[in-house]
Amino acid sequence: MKRAVPFGLAALLVAAVVAAYLPALRAGFVWNDDTYLTNNRTLDGGAGLHAIWADPRANEQYYPLVFSSFWVEKRLWGLRPLGYHLVNVLLHAASALLLWRLLRRLAAPGAWFGAALFALHPVCVESVAWVTERKNTLSLLLSLLAALAYLAWSERRAAVAGGSARRDHAPDLLPWYRRPGALYAGALALFALALLAKTTAALLPAVLLVLAWWRAGRLRGANVRPLVPFFAIGAALALNTAWLETTVVRASGSEWSLSPAGHLVLAGRAVAFYAGKLLWPTDLAFIYPRWTIDAAAVRQWPPVLAVLAVLAAAWALRRKLGRGPLAAVLLFGGVLVPALGFFNVYAMRYSWVADHFAYQAVAVGAACVAAAVATLAGPSLARRRAAAAAGVAVLAAFGTLTFRHAEEFASAETLWRATLARNPGCFMCHTNYGFLLYRQGRVADAIDHFRASLRLKPDNVPALLNLAKVDEDRGRLDEAASELRQALAVDPADPTVLVNLGTVCTKAGRYEDAIGAYRDALRHPSPDDYLAHNGLGVALIRQGRRTEAVEEFREALRLKPDYWMARANLERALAAPPAAGTGGGGPGGRSRPLDPVGGG
């Protein structure tokens, strides 16, 4: 009978998650799913899988376990969205079950309710309904498994060291996978895999230290030393992610420049924001308005002071209230550290906060809220029944909000329209919605959104790129070149802009200008270098420089063997008389405008 109750509760939890996320199972792909999945060439063939693991620059972030999962799934169900969404939903449900198991192991009150709060919390929708955020769902699952393995190792080690273990639980009589050495190695391996899904998992050893202090009341060297390898691996991969974020993803520049005081203001405001969404998850948005941070403004300091006051109160009252409140504050704030603006994240160009930044924090916060409610209810049967009734009502409300929020992820259009309804000042939303309209042939509406984006942010390079593409398609090559030069004034080293400028100049017959733009693009390596080589080859052959052009076409094919335009251009160049020029099949610099790289 004892096993039947947990099984029934587990089944109920999984069923509730699936029901709440039914809209996600019917959804398609949205923003950034193209670079992560649908247009990601590393998901094709064995060479792509090798690149996923061997080349940190093969994708915009080095999360090889995530891209490997996509690689496998692409072989199972191609690019049909259902499979990818179903895996995300099941990973989320599995994490809720593991959270429940972890809380039971820790003897935390309200364990099932905490897991259910996390499972149905609307803030989690962005991580579950958005395929790109496989990073979150996979990393948290592995982190929880690592935590469970580590706690099992710690408890078994303590039992053996204290001589309290029964003989039938002695290490040499246990199955190999339950022995202390195997448990520790398994915990470390699971932690490394979690990092390879998303490096925010690097905070796990700190979480384990807080839990050790909460349980024992103090920390000893025996608590810290076993976690040193965890801290070392976590720090190494986290630093690698930070480096890729600033170099490959290009999260650097004035938009991320804050003074030390400004960082403190931002951190306090972000913690308060996420705590508010945890307790009252309404008005959720895919992209929130980006705050203007001004440390000189007195009105921006109250959130910082409030966070510090809560921390100080939890510390001062730890003997009266117990260690739980202080541990809860440390855990919730601690897991948010990567999302507080201390590290450059590209998505912070649009907003300092995002629901998917708080996925781990929701798990922590839900567990802490449930423990607090269960503790306050105490042994009184009447209060426990009242708490249970209130809990059911909260879960029903959260499930309904999750269902409705998941509906917004049905398609890119529904997502951008819902986001603009809540955040009309979102410049990147106008850019990306305009791009979508452009692809649907609604050019006039697309132009309106591109121009709205530029009114909000005149230096928005993607909007300028898209307007240039519209003018290029209409044959207004001078206007297109002007918009591209405006974009270059913002970022002279942007290879995408340079390739597009080379394409426009080639179409306009300004071959020397085109050659210069393509060569400038190749001075700043990017995954799209094959486009620059192909475009350079076309400009060269238009000048009759066939030998040089052939080398450029060959280099484009070396970088992207399946690039049909470069192959066609090479064949025409080789077939042409030595002194003659040839059209080469078109500039080939780009075939569509580009929406911003994003995610996080």
Q: How far apart are CA 157 and CA 513, in angstroms?
A: 70
What is the residue-averaged pLDDT of the chain? 91
Instruction: Give 311-358 pLDDT, tens digit per residue.
Output: 999 999 999 999 999 999 999 999 999 999 999 999 999 999 999 999
Q: How far apart are CA 156 and CA 150, in angstroms?
A: 10
How many other C-beta atoms are found inside a 10 Å radius of the C-beta of residue 158? 13
- Residue 205 — very low, low, confident or very high, per pLDDT cuts 50/70/90? very high
- Residue 295 pLDDT greater than 80, yes or no: yes
Residue 573 covered by a domain = yes
Report the pLDDT value the prediction gives residue 579, as an integer from 0 to 100: 52
Q: Residue 522: which domain range?
A: 493-600
- Residue 592 — very low, low, confident or very high, per pLDDT cuts 50/70/90? very low
Q: Are 198 and 340 members of one domain?
A: yes
Q: Which of 52, 138, 148 is nearest to 89 (CA)?
A: 138
Per-position DSSP letters for 353-378, written without gaps between them: --GGGGHHHHHHHHHHHHHHHHHHHT
Residue 474 covered by a domain = no
Q: How far apart are CA 370 and CA 422, in angstroms?
A: 30
Which residues have C-beta within 8 Å of that of residue 49, sequence separation ≥ 6? 42, 68, 71
Q: Are 506 and 387 members of one domain?
A: no
Q: Which two tokens stand for residue 546?
A: 């066939």
- Residue 55 — very low, low, confident or very high, per pLDDT cuts 50/70/90? very high
Residue 375 covered by a domain = yes
Residue 476 covered by a domain = no
Per-position DSSP letters for 449-469, written without gaps between them: HHHHHHHH-TT-HHHHHHHHH
Angle between helices 134-161 and 180-197 (to 10 degrees): 160
Positive or negative torsion for Cα 311, 317, 319, 325: negative
Report the pLDDT value the prediction gives residue 518, as an integer from 0 to 100: 96
Instruction: Give 24-39 pLDDT, tens digit per residue.
Output: 999 999 999 999 999 9
Task: Give the CATH number of the domain where residue 515 resides.
Answer: 1.25.40.10
Q: How far apart are CA 122 and CA 276, in angstroms?
A: 13
Task: Tally helices (H) and strands (E) across the chain.
Answer: 29, 0
Question: Which three-class secondary structure state does DSSP give residue 290?
Answer: coil
Cα–Cα–Cα angle for 88, 89, 90, rounded to 5 degrees: 90
Mean pLDDT along residues 547-563: 94
Report the pLDDT value the prediction gives residue 171, as an integer from 0 to 100: 61
Q: Are 399 and 501 members of one domain?
A: no
Distances (CA, A) of 1 to 13, 42, 100, 105, 324: 19, 50, 19, 20, 32
Q: Phi and psi at residue 203, in whole multiples of 5°? A: -80, -10
Report the pLDDT value the prediction gives residue 32, as an integer from 0 to 100: 93
Report the pLDDT value the prediction gives residue 246, as an integer from 0 to 100: 86
Q: Are 393 and 515 members of one domain?
A: no
Q: Which of 488, 538, 531 is nearest to 510 (CA)?
A: 538
Q: What is the DSSP letter of 280?
A: S
- Residue 12 pLDDT greater than 90, yes or no: yes
- The total domain count for the chain is 2
Q: Which two tokens stand for residue 92?
A: 């989320």
Report the pLDDT value the prediction gives residue 172, as an integer from 0 to 100: 63
- Residue 2 pLDDT greater than 60, yes or no: no
Side chain identity at 335, as an amino acid letter?
V
Report the pLDDT value the prediction gives residue 170, as an integer from 0 to 100: 60
- Residue 166 — very low, low, confident or very high, per pLDDT cuts 50/70/90? low
Please say whether the beta carbons of 359 and 127 come within 8 A: yes
Q: Are 137 and 277 members of one domain?
A: yes
- Residue 594 pLDDT greater than 60, yes or no: no
Please say whether the beta carbons of 73 and 38 come within 8 A: no
- Residue 251 — very low, low, confident or very high, per pLDDT cuts 50/70/90? confident
Mean pLDDT along residues 220-244: 94
Buried b (16+ CB within 10 A) or exposed e, 193-214: bbbbbbbbbbbbbbbbbbbbbb
Report the pLDDT value the prediction gives residue 177, as an integer from 0 to 100: 73
Side chain identity at 140, as an amino acid letter?
L
Please say whether the beta carbons of 185 and 127 come within 8 A: no
Q: Which of 110, 118, 72 is nearest to 93 (CA)?
A: 118
CA 517 to mean position of chain CA atoms:
33
Mean pLDDT along residues 72-77: 97
Report the pLDDT value the prediction gives residue 82, as an integer from 0 to 100: 98
Report the pLDDT value the prediction gives residue 581, as an integer from 0 to 100: 42
Q: Are 400 and 516 members of one domain?
A: no
Residue 464 covered by a domain = no
- Residue 183 pLDDT greater than 50, yes or no: yes
Instruction: Give 483-524 pLDDT, tens digit per residue.
Output: 999 999 998 999 999 999 999 999 999 999 999 999 999 999
3-state SS track over 47-87: HHHHHHHHCCCCCCCCCHHHHHHHHHHHHHHCCCHHHHHHH
Report the pLDDT value the prediction gives residue 590, as an integer from 0 to 100: 45
Q: How far apart are CA 82 and CA 160, in angstroms?
A: 48
How many Cα atoms within 13 Å fall on the side-chain side of residue 162? 9
Report the pLDDT value the prediction gives residue 57, as an integer from 0 to 100: 85
Distances (CA, A) of 557 to 12, 64, 528, 563, 570: 54, 25, 12, 6, 9
Q: Of 413, 448, 463, which closes a domain?
A: 413
Mean pLDDT along residues 438-457: 95
Q: Of 397, 413, 429, which closes a domain?
A: 413
Residue 127 covered by a domain = yes
Q: Are 162 and 267 members of one domain?
A: yes
Q: Which two tokens stand for residue 442?
A: 């609604």
Report the pLDDT value the prediction gives residue 526, as an integer from 0 to 100: 85
Residue 269 covered by a domain = yes
Q: Are 504 and 389 members of one domain?
A: no
Mean pLDDT along residues 95-109: 96
Residue 102 covered by a domain = yes
Which residues have C-beta within 8 Å of that of residue 241, sequence separation ≥ 6? 61, 62, 199
Q: Which two tokens stand for residue 231?
A: 């801290």
Q: Are 374 and 503 members of one domain?
A: no
Please say whether the beta carbons of 394 and 117 come within 8 A: yes
Q: How far apart are CA 190 and CA 258, in angstroms?
A: 36
Q: How far apart are CA 469 and CA 473, in angstroms?
A: 6
Q: Of 389, 413, 437, which closes a domain?
A: 413
Q: Which two tokens stand for residue 219?
A: 């920390």
- Residue 460 pLDDT greater than 60, yes or no: yes
Q: How far apart are CA 111 and CA 97, in angstroms?
A: 10
- Residue 250 — very low, low, confident or very high, per pLDDT cuts 50/70/90? confident
Q: Which of 53, 78, 60 is nearest to 132 (CA)?
A: 60
Q: Are 19 and 116 members of one domain?
A: yes
Q: Are 396 and 498 members of one domain?
A: no
Q: Are 509 and 407 members of one domain?
A: no
Is the model's pTM score more than 0.85?
Answer: yes
